[in-house]
Amino acid sequence: MIVRDGHLVIFIDGTGRFEVPVPKVQYVLMGLGPVRVKGLHGPAGKMRLSETGKGIWIRIQGSEYVTPVERVRKVISGEHRKAAVFRW
């Protein structure tokens, strides 16, 4: 997961590349609700904050992925270049 051209770009091996605009990721980080994840051909899934607030859940094409909130914040701020996404 990286930031490119104002979007959080999620790379899933064997599945593809998906994007969420950074302002929409910030919406999720504030706990305001889920947002859509876009693929090359339109909507591909949803991103939401975990119940504990420590993780971001990403559902893409029927599969679930998770990444720590703190890593996402650091990637968005530019402190870190990338963050790992784990299949759940």
31-75 residue pLDDT tens: 999 999 999 999 999 999 999 999 999 999 999 999 999 999 999
Identity of the residue numbered 36? R
Separation of alpha carbons 44 and 32, rounded Å: 20
Rounded to 5°, the CA angle 42-8-34 comes to: 65
Q: d(Cα 27, Cα 87) in Å, to the nearest integer?
A: 23
- Look at strands 63-68 and 42-49 and give their pairing: unpaired
pTM for the model? 0.91
User: Helix, strand or coil for residue 15?
Assistant: coil
pLDDT band at 1 (very low <50, low <70, confident <90, very high): very high
Place of tokens 């609700």: 33
